[in-house]
Structure 1
Amino acid sequence: MNPLYIQIKKRITESLVGGLWHPGHSIPSEIELAQSYNVSQGTVRKAIDELAAEKILIRRQGKGTFVASHNEEHNQLRFLRLTSSLGDKEKLDNKLITFEKEKASNGLAKILGINNASTVVSIKRVLTFNEKPLILDLIKVPAASFRGLTPEKVIEKKGSMYRMYETDFGIQMLHAKEKIRAVTASAEAAELLGVSLDSPILSVERTSFTYDNKAIEWRLGLCLTENHHYATELE
């Protein structure tokens, strides 16, 4: 049997999955949760410590504990790790290239845990930093999880898809797995990013997950790195 604090962590996570507490909102105090779960405050604190370390919850001194949100200024680009090598603050925007619905391939269906016959929304866009093309993004999400997703919504969010997932569909992306490799620009990538054919670019393939560790988005980003680098932190 799992330690008691792990069981409480699971119960808190289940409440988040069920929508009891929403992104950006506070959760009950440790004392209130301890009473609700009939455990010690220390057990609740240890469970919350782990969820805070995983950036699912955020502690704010003197204010309480809040559900992490992609709406917060410091968290909007949580998964976008391409950074100016000069340290410049850049304006992010996006240009939508295509927005289509299609049947999931066998490989994609396996990644997203959906039926082979399921429909996915396929989005192709160019992310611009200070109005210069920097990333060619190919995004695929299950249509059933994003009913009402339109090209207009993609354009409206100015590049922040995770913010849109959260605010418009109640889906909070929590963590991601990535595969990074160097590739050369195809004819399409070269044209959309404004570089020569076969120029070196960075390929970032990402699968993003929500609270219950459910894969909900597959994405391939083709990135220019002449004046940018991919920044990450290892713990």
Structure 2
Amino acid sequence: MNALSSDERLPLYQRLRDELAQQVCGNHWKAGEAIPTEASLAAEYGLSIGTVRKAIDMLVGERILERQQGRGTFIRRAQFQDSLFRFFRFQNLQGERLVPQSRILSVKALPATPVVSYALQLAGGAEVIRLQRLRLLEGDPVLAEEIWLPRAPFEPILNLDLNQEGPLLYPIYEELCGQVIASADETLTAEPVDAEYAQWLGIEPASPVVVIERVARGYSGQPLEWRRSRGHARHFRYSVEIR
């Protein structure tokens, strides 16, 4: 029988919640994988079903776990591609969504600037990895991205040809580096584009672009990625459902 290791002054359900969250953060289960049943966890930790259920309820409320009717409880895998379609109109003439292709323009290790250190909650001058990426639809550039990662957990990326790995980075983070993106905060702004990004996007310098800035976090809440995605205003849309 496993013992709970957190503060004994806390209620049992809180201690179990902390134990399970620690296991999720340590990749004991993979994103999308089912955790043991409530009965199994109750037996493993010597707790009542009600206590286990309350702990799981907390993790579901925090969007770390999700219940699937008739199947069990799973490590939640967030759908980050949805933000592209919330803010940009990427679709064909039939109205079908199209995921932009990916072209990595550069991958470099370098000291973090103060802005990057702040975004990733790193010590000043810490080593980071910068990716510069272009997203294309049918060969036409639609997004120019600058992506920053703390170097130590993402070191394997420096030895990989990312252009051979498909358009999505998060599966690479997970499979190659063991880093799972669990949540993200996004902000939306508009600005005139500088000369470098204007050239990438094939537009005039100072043209209006929409910028999605994202801080992506692991299950522990620690920032793992900071990115700025710039897209020409002609592709911009805003979509929200109000109930």
TM-score by length of 1: 0.85
Quick one: which amino acid aligns to residue 212 of structure 2?
V
Question: Which protein has the larger Cα radius of gyration, Structure 1 or Structure 2?
Answer: 2
Deviation at 1:191, TM superposition (A): 1.4
Pairwise CA distance, 1:7: 3.1
Over 3 Å counting, the alpha-carbon distance change for 1:177 and 1:226 in structure 2 is same
Look up the match of 1:210: 218
- What amino acid sits opposite 1:84 in the alignment? R
> What is the CA–CA distance in structure 2 between the aligned matches of 1:113 and 1:59, rounded to whole Å?
32
Instruction: Tell me the SS of whatever aligns to 1:155.
Output: helix
Q: How does 1:40-189 map to 2 (within 5 A)?
A: 40-69=48-77, 75=79, 77=81, 80=84, 81-84=86-89, 87-150=95-158, 152-189=160-197
Distance in 2, matches of 1:79 and 1:6, equals 33
Q: Partner amino acid for 1:127?
A: R
State which of 32, 40, 46 in structure 2 corresponds to 1:32. 40
Contact 1:91–1:131 (Cα < 8 Å) also in 2: no
CA contact (8 A) 2:191 2:211 kept: yes
User: For the structure 1 residues 31 and 84, does the alpha-carbon distance in structure 2 shift closer, same or farther, using more than 3 Å as the test?
Assistant: same
Aligned equivalents of 1:107, 1:218: Cα separation in 2: 10
Quote how far apart the aligned CAs of 1:103 are.
0.7
Shift of residue 35, structure 1, vs aligned partner? 2.4
Mapped partners of 2:123, 2:89: distance in 1 = 40
Q: What code does the residue aligned with 1:206 have?
A: R
Opposite residue 154 of structure 1, the aligned amino acid is: L
Partner Cα separation in structure 2 for residue 2 and residue 41 of structure 1: 18
> Given the alignment, which residue of 196, 199, 203 partners 1:191?
199
1:160 and 1:233 mapped to 2: Cα distance? 26
Aligned residue-pair number: 231
Corresponding residue for residue 13 of structure 1: 21
Q: What displacement does 1:124 show?
A: 0.5
What is the TM-score with the length of structure 2 in the denominator? 0.82
Q: Which segment drifts farther, 58-67 or 173-182?
A: 58-67
Change (3 A) 1:2 1:200: farther
Residue by residue over 1:148-169, the C-alpha shift from the partner in whole angstroms, topping out at 9 and shown as x without a partner, is 1137442233221111111111
Does the Cα contact within 8 Å between 2:108 and 2:158 map onto a contact in 1?
A: no
The aligned amino acid for 1:44 is: V
Provide the rounded CA distance (Å) in 2 between the counterparts of 1:164 and 1:158.
9
Amino acid at match of 1:166: E
How much does 1:5 deviate?
A: 3.4
Q: Does the 8 A contact of 1:100 with 1:121 survive in 2?
A: yes
Map Cα deviations across residues 10-65 of structure 1 (whole Å, 9 max, x no partner): 22110112222122322100111122233332332233234334442232222222
Unaligned runs of 5+ in 1: none
Give the distance between the partners of 1:92 and 1:152, measured in 2 at CA.
21
Q: 1:153 to 1:232 in 2, by over 3 A?
A: farther
Structure 2 gaps, min length 5: 1-8
Once residues 30 and 63 of structure 1 are traced to their aligned partners in structure 2, the CA distance between those partners, rounded to angstroms, is 13
Amino acid at match of 2:229: G
